[in-house]
Structure 1
Amino acid sequence: MKKLLLALTLAGGVLALSACNQGGSDTVAKSDAGDITQQELYEAMKDRVGAQALQQLIFEKVLSEKYEVTDKELDAKVAELKEQLGENFEMALAQYGYKDEEDFKQTMKLGMLQEKAAKASIKVTDEELEEYFGTWKKQIKARHILVADEATANEVKAKLDAGEKFEDVSNTYSTDEAAKAAGGDLGWFAEEAQMDADFLAAAFALNANEVSAPVKSQFGYHIIEVTETRKDAKLEDHKDELKEELVASKMTNEKINEIMEKELKDAKVKISDKDLQGALELGATTQQ
């Protein structure tokens, strides 16, 4: 989610600025008080969003020479973001200044180009991979049903023992609304996760597909089922997946800026407009 939302930057001025820069004096607005020329509009926009717009245009041109984002990849990323944001997708576009989905895709494409440049530069050692695998392997995937009292927990356990579907019982009984929406699923987590200690102890004592007796915690009573473990996983079978996760964990804003500085230096970018000399000072273009 974080990487996808990174692309939601205010870039509406990019196309507008480049469209206005025709170098002419055509009138774009008339009034009794005076006319506004195309050049005046361009200068005003340059003052306000010029550095941001130029930076984005340069980035896309430089990165597109070395990396490729296909329409299929772009559509898949947008579809993923739509799924995550649900009915809030259109509202998010409007909030960040995009006129429509196609407008947003142009900025998303740049974000994906930067991500590809970062992935090509960030290295993961075998030692890092081994260490990460050791932690990853110990995680479990579990789901739970949370209720207020032990009597209700026993009732829930009896229904599960009788063969009722976990997600159906969760939907009827669970007070954990967030997990309930996913059938009680809590995803993968480690023994050091920021969860109740009693809950963690009970969960990690279970085998895959085993359902607990009622477990008391500070939140109430849980019925827990471990749905998957990784104890038999082999590094060779998950190497690419884990490497990608490690690379993503190293992809900080500072690292991306460092990589972009190198890309711009390699491309020998020079800005001739003295008013926009600061456009390539990464991280310094949010305020004009």
Structure 2
Amino acid sequence: MKKKLALTSVAFLTAITLAGCASSSQTVATSSAGNITKDELYDAMKSSTGKTVLQRLILIDVLNKAVGKNTLEADAKAEVTSTIAQYGGETSFNYILAQSGFANKDEYQQVLYLNKLIEAAVKAKTSFTDAEVQAYYDTYQPKINVQHILVADEATAVDLINQINGGADFAELAKANSTDTATASKGGETGLFGAGDMVKEFEDAAYALNVGEVTQTPVKTQYGYHIIKMLEKPAKGTLEEERTNIEALMMKDKLADNAYLTSVISTIVQDAKVEIKDKDLSTAIDTFLPAKTTDSSAAASDSAATSGSATSESATSDSAK
């Protein structure tokens, strides 16, 4: 029902690991058919994943400097260790990584570290005006807490609503009938959630309820049919009381906007004056650089400038007459 995934990465960054291979003729593998050198390995890996990995390494260096002294690399390592434990060990964790497109634990940890750097850098570069905070406050709704029962068909949902209206205990019905395993054992209680945390149909129906009220028609979502009961619906505080929470939510929206992330990172990368020496990898950070002008567009620009100059000169000449 929630819209989050356990393993995520910034959308415009792909996760591929390239071993740190210095240019060398040192042999890394031998066989009766011949030897493979580090040079050969490096060239092969460079052509397939080099630009992506170089981009990541550059961004880590540049953003780490922009953020300043931090513990984000250690935080990423600790988070990976915790996640492995949550999945029951490295075997299960590695399976999830493979399904998510990561090559190994080190690669996932490096991408996680980069994402933390991106978040820290964007937060440092982002502020909100009073007008922006006011506009957000005007439509803001505090987090709510509900119980719900999820079933596969509408007829069952209608029957459960009738039982609730007849005095049946909502929590007991949730434990006995709900197919949402994450909440059924808790009597259907979701815990606090806010705008954008749940699928729209569920969220709209929930926010429309008053405390103690139950939806009288089943709420259909992609997961099935829900019966929802409002448990907690705090009143909205004043702007001053809500400001800290509102700014946190506004920052969350910024961090979910890849176009905004790219614009902030582009500024940081361009200020760092990155120069890529290897011509084969020269476009690795083009995503964060101004668009290159093509010869044809440059010629058109020159032509327009010449035309504008001639027009200006003509106007000056006419004015002098």
Report the TM-score range of the alignment, normalised by the length of the smaller protein. Answer: 0.7 to 0.9
TM superposition shift of 1:195? 2.4
Flag the structure with more relative contact order, 1 or 2, with Cα contacts below 8 A and sequence separation at least 6.
1
Match of 1:48 in 2: 48
Match of 1:135 in 2: 139
Match of 1:163 in 2: none
Match of 2:96 in 1: 92
Task: Identify if the C-alpha distance between structure 1 residues 240 and 83 changes in structure 2 by more than 3 Å, giving closer, same or farther.
Answer: farther
From 255, 273, 282, the equivalent of 1:268 is 273
From 257, 263, 273, the equivalent of 1:258 is 263
Please identify, of 252-261 and 262-271, the stretch whose mean Cα deviation from structure 2 is larger: 252-261
Amino acid of the structure 1 residue aligned with 2:134: E
Say which SS state the counterpart of residue 62 (structure 1) adopts.
helix
TM superposition shift of 1:149? 6.1
Match of 2:163 in 1: 155
- The alignment covers a number of residue pairs equal to 267
The 5 A counterparts of 1:195-274 are: 195=201, 200=205, 204-207=208-211, 210-212=212-214, 215-217=216-218, 224-251=228-255, 252-274=257-279
TM superposition shift of 1:155? 3.2
- Structure 1 residue runs of 5 or longer lacking an equivalent are 161-165
Task: Identify if the C-alpha distance between structure 1 residues 43 and 245 changes in structure 2 by more than 3 Å, giving closer, same or farther.
Answer: same
Q: Is the 8 A contact 1:203 1:224 kept in 2?
A: no
With structure 1 as the length reference, what TM-score do the two structures score? Answer: 0.74
Q: Distance in 2 between matches of 1:75 and 1:40?
A: 32
Match of 2:121 in 1: 117
Q: Is the 8 A contact 1:215 1:221 kept in 2?
A: no
TM superposition shift of 1:93? 1.3
Q: Is the 8 A contact 1:60 1:110 kept in 2?
A: yes
Q: Distance in 1 between matches of 2:66 and 2:216?
A: 55
Q: Is the 8 A contact 2:276 2:282 kept in 1?
A: yes
Task: Identify if the C-alpha distance between structure 1 residues 103 and 26 changes in structure 2 by more than 3 Å, giving closer, same or farther.
Answer: same
Task: Identify if the C-alpha distance between structure 1 residues 85 and 263 changes in structure 2 by more than 3 Å, giving closer, same or farther.
Answer: farther
TM superposition shift of 1:52? 1.0
Match of 1:144 in 2: 148
Q: Distance in 1 between matches of 2:87 and 2:237?
A: 32
Say which SS state the counterpart of residue 35 (structure 1) adopts.
strand
Deviations 1:25-69 (A, max 9, x none): 111112233211111111111111111111111111111112134
Q: In terms of Rg, which structure is larger?
A: 2
Q: Distance in 2 between matches of 1:279 and 1:172?
A: 55
Say which SS state the counterpart of residue 159 (structure 1) adopts.
coil
Say which SS state the counterpart of residue 41 (structure 1) adopts.
helix
Taking only aligned residues, the RMSD between alpha carbons, in angstroms, comes to 3.8
TM superposition shift of 1:10? 4.6
Q: Is the 8 A contact 2:29 2:37 kept in 1?
A: yes
Task: Identify if the C-alpha distance between structure 1 residues 124 and 182 changes in structure 2 by more than 3 Å, giving closer, same or farther.
Answer: farther
Please identify, of 66-75 and 275-284, the stretch whose mean Cα deviation from structure 2 is larger: 66-75
Please identify, of 55-64 and 87-96, the stretch whose mean Cα deviation from structure 2 is larger: 87-96
Amino acid of the structure 2 residue aligned with 1:195: E
Match of 1:5 in 2: 8
TM superposition shift of 1:253? 1.9
Amino acid of the structure 2 residue aligned with 1:104: Y
With structure 2 as the length reference, what TM-score do the two structures score? Answer: 0.68
Q: Distance in 1 between matches of 2:239 and 2:85?
A: 30
Task: Identify if the C-alpha distance between structure 1 residues 156 and 78 changes in structure 2 by more than 3 Å, giving closer, same or farther.
Answer: farther
Q: Is the 8 A contact 2:219 2:226 kept in 1?
A: no
TM superposition shift of 1:240? 2.5
- Structure 2 residue runs of 5 or longer lacking an equivalent are 290-321
